[in-house]
């Protein structure tokens, strides 16, 4: 190309990027990309540690399946059949390869695919968790608002005292108390079992109410105390509250439109962080009430050293916790436009 022709070409405009560059340069997409990479590392670490711990527990799946009367030869034969004779890293690599190709493997105990086990059991656990969240947040927010409206008042003192008592009760103890009173003594609610909502929604809720309350009470008390403390601090110390009062804005409008919006950030963070603990609580509660959820399946898999089922369940739990924290971060920006996801985040 001649020098005259090249001189006639338009020079690139500084600061102008193509559509792809503009998309990939989005602060939100960069933030999501960093979170995705971090999530992959976290999930890999969780599954690897779970695999190592399970394989270092006394006994293995073959021994657990055959029972205490099995001979060493029988245990060895089943171990070879299940692939338990392979080195730990080899088995973990095979599990990872299956995961990448879309398979979570098969249960060592039943031979059923882990995907089908999760598909049948997770809806029960998800409904229990959702019901518990509705109860805890549905009561915690109004209680916190009423308590913060008049700090040190009768309702504030009574609600904070009761919430402290609620925090002191273990969920499995509360579950047994609820069963004793509402199932045994009063015969109002069923103690054990499960009815799908597709068959009867009213019966489904009757079977779920005691397990959900057993999980929700401690969360309710904790959320109420946390939100109430933040609201009181906002109403006492923040300049925007003083300005609103000087303009003649009513107390409830100040609480609902101003203080609550700022105080809810801490509540969102705690709710997201508590999800992992809540998933762990379902393991015990589902056992007590005989719910066919993934918590019940997880405990059975741990007892039988059913590694594929445990790995698949832990992976799903990890993904849920990661997504919950990501959604919490995105809610910050939705509630407060000043929160930006720049390159520094």
In angstroms, the CA 161 to CA 15 distance is: 60
Please name the residue ranges forming H helices in 150-200: 154-167, 171-178
Q: Please choose, from the candidates 211, 212, 231, 320, the residue with its C-alpha nearest in 3D space to the C-alpha of residue 271.
A: 320
3-state class percentages of the chain: helix first, strand second, coil last, to nearest 5: 75, 0, 25
Half-sphere exposure of 212 (CA within 13 A, CB side): 23
| CATH code of the domain occupying 118-303 | 1.10.3720.10
CA distance 314 to 48: 10
Rg value, the chain, Cα: 27
Q: What is the pLDDT of residue 82?
A: 79
pLDDT digits (tens, 9 = 90+) for 6-43: 444 444 444 444 443 444 557 777 777 888 888 888 88
Q: State pTM to two decimals.
A: 0.79
Handedness of CA 162, 164, 170, 173 (dihedral sign): negative
What pLDDT is attached to residue 336? 64
The pLDDT of residue 23 = 44
Burial class of residue 198 in the structure, from the number of CB atoms within 10 Å of its CB (0-12 exposed, 13-18 middle, 19+ buried): exposed
Residues in the chain: 345
Cβ pair 228, 255 in contact under 8 A: no
Contact yes or no for 144/227 (Cβ under 8 A):
yes
Confirm if 237 and 151 have CB atoms less than 8 A apart. no
**pLDDT reported for residue 338:** 61
CB atoms near residue 327 (< 10 Å): 13
Q: What are phi and psi of 49, to 5 degrees?
A: -65, -40
Contact 230, 263 (CB under 8 A): yes
First to last CA, the chain: 46
The per-residue pLDDT for 329 is 77
Q: How far apart are CA 67 and CA 69, in angstroms?
A: 6
Q: Which residues contact 155 (CB under 8 A, 6 or more apart)?
A: 146, 147
Burial of 294 (0-12, 13-18, 19+ CB in 10 A): buried
Residues 244, 254: contact at Cβ < 8 Å? yes
Q: Low-confidence residues of the chain, pLDDT below 70?
A: 1-25, 333-345
Q: Are residues 312 and 105 in contact, defined by beta-carbon separation less than 8 angstroms?
A: yes
Q: How far apart are CA 285 and CA 305, in angstroms?
A: 21
The residues spanned by each domain of the chain are 27-100, 118-303
Average pLDDT score over the chain: 83
């Amino acid at each position: 190309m001649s020098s005259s022709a090249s001189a006639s070409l338009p020079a690139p405009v500084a600061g102008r990027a193509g559509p792809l560059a503009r998309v990939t340069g989005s602060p939100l997409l960069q933030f999501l990309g960093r979170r995705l990479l971090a999530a992959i590392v976290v999930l890999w670490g969780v599954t690897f540690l779970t695999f190592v711990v399970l394989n270092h527990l006394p006994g293995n799946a073959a021994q657990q399946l055959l029972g205490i009367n099995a001979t060493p030869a029988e245990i060895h034969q089943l171990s070879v059949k299940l692939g338990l004779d392979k080195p730990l890293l080899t088995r973990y690599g095979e599990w990872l390869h299956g995961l990448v190709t879309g398979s979570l493997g098969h249960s060592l105990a039943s031979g059923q695919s882990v995907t089908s086990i999760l598909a049948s059991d997770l809806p029960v656990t998800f409904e229990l968790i959702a019901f518990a969240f509705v109860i805890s947040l549905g009561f915690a927010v109004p209680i916190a608002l009423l308590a913060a409206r008049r700090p040190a008042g009768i309702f504030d003192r009574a609600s904070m005292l009761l919430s402290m008592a609620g925090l002191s009760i273990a969920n499995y103890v509360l579950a047994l108390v609820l069963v004793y009173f509402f199932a045994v003594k009063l015969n109002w609610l069923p103690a054990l079992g499960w009815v799908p909502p597709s068959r009867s929604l009213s019966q489904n809720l009757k079977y779920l109410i005691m397990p959900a309350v057993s999980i929700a009470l401690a969360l309710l008390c904790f959320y109420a105390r946390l939100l109430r403390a933040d609201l009181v601090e906002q109403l006492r110390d923040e300049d925007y509250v003083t300005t609103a009062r000087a303009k003649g804005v009513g107390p409830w409008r100040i609480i609902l439109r101003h203080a609550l919006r700022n105080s809810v950030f801490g509540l969102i963070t705690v709710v997201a962080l508590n999800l992992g603990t809540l998933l762990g609580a379902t393991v015990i509660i589902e056992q007590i009430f005989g719910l066919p959820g993934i918590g019940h399946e997880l405990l059975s898999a741990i007892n039988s050293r059913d590694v594929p089922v445990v790995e698949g369940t832990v992976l799903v739990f990890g993904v849920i916790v990661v997504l919950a924290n990501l959604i919490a971060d995105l809610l910050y920006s939705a509630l407060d436009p000043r929160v930006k996801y720049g390159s520094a985040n």
